[in-house]
Amino acid sequence: MDVQELERVIQRAGRERVPLVMLTVTNNSGGGQPVSMENIQQVSAVCRSNKIPLYFDACRFAENAYFIKLREPRYESKTPKQIAQEMFSYGDGCTMSAKKDGMANIGGFLCTNDDLLAQQEKDLLILTEGYPTYGGLAGRDLEAIAVGLQEALEEDYLRYRIASTAYLGNHIAQEGVPIVQPPGGHAIYIDARTFLPHVPIDEFPGVTLAAELYLEGGIRSVEIGSLMFGAAAKMDLVRLAIPRRVYTQSHIDYVVEMILEVWKKRDSIRGLKLLYQAPFLRHFTARMAPVE
């Protein structure tokens, strides 16, 4: 996070109008790149000096911890779990989709160090999801989350996970496919504006590329760009997120092959136009058609 910009926003808006600061680890919309421990400490210091809670979007906290171990010398002798514990010590709470570094099929949780707020959240939970001991989840799913949070921090698992993602990124990059470098932990992000420079931004190069990958080889991806963020989008990325413990090496090789097939015919790919968009979160339900 840009710490100076954070301070400017707080000063401009007023501390009382900033209910919390959210830091996403790893940065999903920024190419899956990790947040350094130094940056976490700096953001935490700004929040505490202004008495604003700092929350983590902790979906991929284990991968972030492992990147800190790899890239920050003073953490190289620490375990991912020790790094994660320090990371969370700088915050006041977190949200967690357990389908990521919880390694579960469904579910998630909300954490806070504020006892009063926690009680209010529990009361609301009873009205909307279920009793706080299960939150609308089956016992099997609760157990899967409990085990998955520990397994996601195992160094052997993280080493293999990061290497598998890098394998995909490096193989397509070697053939000229533009990706966000270095490869992230959970996904490879293709730069669709560079991949399809002839497709204008108002014809959604990210969605265009995502659709082409699906038509070519059944590869499901997601656009993070002009359709998702509108005029605020600074990039049009196509995210190839890799589920944990699902794909074999041959699956990844197939994905590489299909991406390169689309790369070869990129000059003939046409953009898309919007037929329908919802008033909010349009990227979930928009309908589109090829530009004629």
Instruction: Based on the fold, state whether residues 127 and 211 are members of the same structural domain.
Output: no
Domain that holds residue 222: 155-290
State the CATH number of the domain containing residue 72.
Answer: 3.40.640.10
Last residue of a domain, one of 95, 124, 151: 151
How far, CA to CA in Å, does 223 sit from each of 32, 95, 164? 14, 23, 22
Instruction: Based on the fold, state whether residues 165 and 247 are members of the same structural domain.
Output: yes
pLDDT, tens digit only, all 292 positions of the chain: 999 999 999 999 999 999 999 999 988 777 788 999 999 999 999 999 999 999 999 999 999 999 999 999 999 999 999 999 999 999 999 999 999 998 999 999 999 999 999 999 999 999 998 898 898 899 999 999 999 999 999 999 999 999 989 999 999 999 999 999 999 888 999 999 999 999 999 999 999 999 999 999 999 999 999 999 998 999 999 999 998 888 888 999 999 999 999 999 999 999 999 999 999 899 999 999 999 8
End-to-end C-alpha distance for the chain, whole angstroms: 41
Instruction: Based on the fold, state whether residues 90 and 161 are members of the same structural domain.
Output: no
SS3 for the chain is CCHHHHHHHHHHHCHHHCCCEEEECCEHHHCCECCCHHHHHHHHHHHHHCCCCEEEECCCHHHHHHHHHHHCHHHCCCCHHHHHHHHHHCCCEEEEECCCCCCCCCCEEEEECCHHHHHHHHHHHHHHCCCCCCCCCCHHHHHHHHHHHHHCCCHHHHHHHHHHHHHHHHHHHCCCCCECCCCCCCEEEEEHHHHCCCCCHHHCHHHHHHHHHHHHHCCCCEEECHHHHHHHCCCCEEEEECCCCCCCHHHHHHHHHHHHHHHHCHHHCCCEEEEECCCCCHHHHCEEEECC
Last residue of a domain, one of 92, 117, 151: 151
Instruction: Based on the fold, state whether residues 7 and 146 are members of the same structural domain.
Output: yes
What lies within 8 Å, CB to CB, of 143 at 6+ separation is: none
Instruction: Based on the fold, state whether residues 15 and 144 are members of the same structural domain.
Output: yes
Number of domains composing the chain: 2
Can you give the pLDDT at residue 152? 95
From CA 59, how far away is CA 108, in angstroms rounded?
Answer: 9
Can you give the pLDDT at residue 147? 96
Instruction: Based on the fold, state whether residues 160 and 283 are members of the same structural domain.
Output: yes
Can you give the pLDDT at residue 248? 83
Instruction: Based on the fold, state whether residues 127 and 212 are members of the same structural domain.
Output: no
Can you give the pLDDT at residue 72? 96
Last residue of a domain, one of 112, 134, 151: 151
Instruction: Based on the fold, state whether residues 11 and 146 are members of the same structural domain.
Output: yes
Can you give the pLDDT at residue 11? 94
How would you label 52-77 residue by residue, b for 16+ Cβ within 10 Å and e otherwise? bbbbbbbbbbbbbbbbbbeeeeebee
Instruction: Based on the fold, state whether residues 282 and 168 are members of the same structural domain.
Output: yes
Can you give the pLDDT at residue 32? 82
Can you give the pLDDT at residue 262? 97
Instruction: Based on the fold, state whether residues 99 and 173 are members of the same structural domain.
Output: no
Can you give the pLDDT at residue 63? 95
State the CATH number of the domain containing residue 164.
Answer: 3.90.1150.10
Can you give the pLDDT at residue 30? 76
From CA 233, how far away is CA 226, in angstroms rounded?
Answer: 5
Can you give the pLDDT at residue 143? 95
Instruction: Based on the fold, state whether residues 249 and 212 are members of the same structural domain.
Output: yes
Can you give the pLDDT at residue 28? 79
Contact 192, 208 (CB under 8 A): yes
Rounded to two decimals, the pTM is: 0.87
Instruction: Based on the fold, state whether residues 162 and 114 are members of the same structural domain.
Output: no
